[in-house]
Amino acid sequence: MASREVTPEEIAMIEELVKKAHAAQKILETYDQARIDRLCQAVAAAVCDMKVWAKLSDEAVDETALGDKVTKRNKRNKIKLILRDCLRQKSVGIIEELPEKGIVKYAKPAGVIASLVPTTNPCLTPAGQVVYAIKARDAIVCSPHPRAKNVTNKCINIIRETLKREGAPEDIIQGIPLPSIAASIELMKRCDLTIATGGRPMVKSAYSTGVPAYGSGAGNATVIIDDTCDTPERQHEAAENTRISKCSDFGSGCSCDGNLVIHESIYENIVKELVKEGAYLANAEEAEKIKKVMWDENGHRLPNTVAVSPQKLALTAGFEIPADRKFIAVTGGGINDIGKTHFFSSEKLTTLLALFKYEGEFENALDMMRKIFEVGGKGHSCGLYSFSDDHINRLGMAAPVSRIMIRQPNNRGNSGSAWNGMPPTSSMGCGTWGGNIVSENITLKHYMNTTWVARPMKKDMPSNEELFGDFNKPDMDEE
């Protein structure tokens, strides 16, 4: 992550922000569980009010030129889910007891968190993270993306005003007013923990500062639709799930469907259902034009077509599509059309979907899935529309990803939903596959330190015969 040298003025600014954050955190640390929970509710309510959130959504799109004002409004539901989970958990004093092991666990704050805020979620990320931070009794300093600094800081200021009204230190959350890469690196060096939500260079930079960090990985969300999707009702639902996932915020999220791997027996029916859901089927000539405006000759993603409407994507490529179309679909081909040189099998981050066809047994779909993740997105997520427990289990065993959604929209489900048990978040760890330390959603437990207190218990040590089995020797304990 290349950067200029940090200026003395930036260092002084960062030092002041962190100093204020530490002071605020020390006060927050004295609050009991009831007051902490009330603060979480107050902050979440302030930004979840649709009259507030709608304006922030519009301003985010206006400032960044990324995403969709209509579907960006739906992202407020993530804050409600985060609040739901926070209110159901303890974070002050004893949080868990295991009498059979003599273990009692106590929660402690992580301290001051540096949050690197992505341009695609300039308000959701700080709003969701501050609820977790308050619950854990942390303070948080946000480094907005330079392209979204105004709307991110506006969101932060709404939260600060709410904290002040509640008699809590407003410096529990702060934002860098004029962010830069250099300032972000300086911030990360001075905080106790970094949560980096964004691209691989940003995450690598966070890991290189010498401070503990949680990062997220790149996506290339791929959904297999198998031959159990064999009725009109199921085919409609599968296509509807894809439309919901593909179109959210103009496909800006890492979890938005990028590739469908469809069984040959239902391929044509699925395509028809996708058209009903708003797909525009690009022909070979149009697909080639799209490819040229999305990637350079080396396969690097070009920025001007990220998170744009399908109409704008088509116009940029040099053709027009009807105003009612919600996304563009291209024929990806078969297993021989997947790889680093086949750009449609890589991450899209816009309103484009690639359709791949697999033949015969389910193992062929798994082979295509593996090959797609060798192109990119390993560690992030995939999905499956299937009613076969065998197929679900086999994908679970085979997929090099941290999360798999079954018969539900990836974008809605990966980061937590009212319809599944995934922990709600806006930051998703992708394990060692994606260059991250955890392969789970970054949630409350990651914002806390935990002290384990162990009382003595009855001795628990099996005999050598039980431990070593066939490898036991009668004289193993003798020199």
User: Residues with Cβ < 8 Å from 151, sequence gap 6 or more?
Assistant: 56, 59, 60, 63, 64, 122, 123
Cα–Cα distance for residue pair 321/313, rounded to 1 Å? 9
Query: Rounded to whole angstroms, what are the CA distances from 338 to 195, 217, 225, 342, 362?
Result: 33, 21, 17, 6, 17
CA nearest neighbour of 123 among 164, 86, 157:
157
Residue in this structure with the two tokens 């539901």, named with its chain if needed? 77
Beta bridge partners of 143: 116
Q: Which of 40, 123, 229, 254 is catalytic?
A: 254
CB 115 within 8 A of CB 143: yes
- What long-range pairs does 164-169 form, CB within 8 A, spacing at least 24? 165/42, 166/38, 166/39, 166/42, 168/27, 168/28, 168/31, 168/39, 169/23, 169/24, 169/27, 169/28
Cα–Cα distance for residue pair 67/57, rounded to 1 Å? 9
Cα–Cα distance for residue pair 381/155, rounded to 1 Å? 29
Burial 343-374 (b: 16+ CB within 10 A, else e): bbbbbbbbbbbbbbbbeeebebbbbbbebbbe
Cα–Cα distance for residue pair 355/317, rounded to 1 Å? 19
- Whether 254 is catalytic is yes
Cα–Cα distance for residue pair 359/363, rounded to 1 Å? 10
CA 355 to chain centre: 24
Cβ–Cβ contacts within 10 Å for residue 324, how many? Answer: 8
Cα–Cα distance for residue pair 339/60, rounded to 1 Å? 34
CA nearest neighbour of 381 among 409, 354, 357:
409
Cα–Cα distance for residue pair 183/218, rounded to 1 Å? 24
**Residue 213 buriedness (CB in 10 A; 0-12 / 13-18 / 19+):** buried
Q: What CA dihedral angle connects 176, 181, 183 and 185, to 10 degrees?
A: 120
Q: Is 438 helix (H, G, I), strand (E, B) or coil?
A: coil
Give the residue numbers marked as catalytic: 254
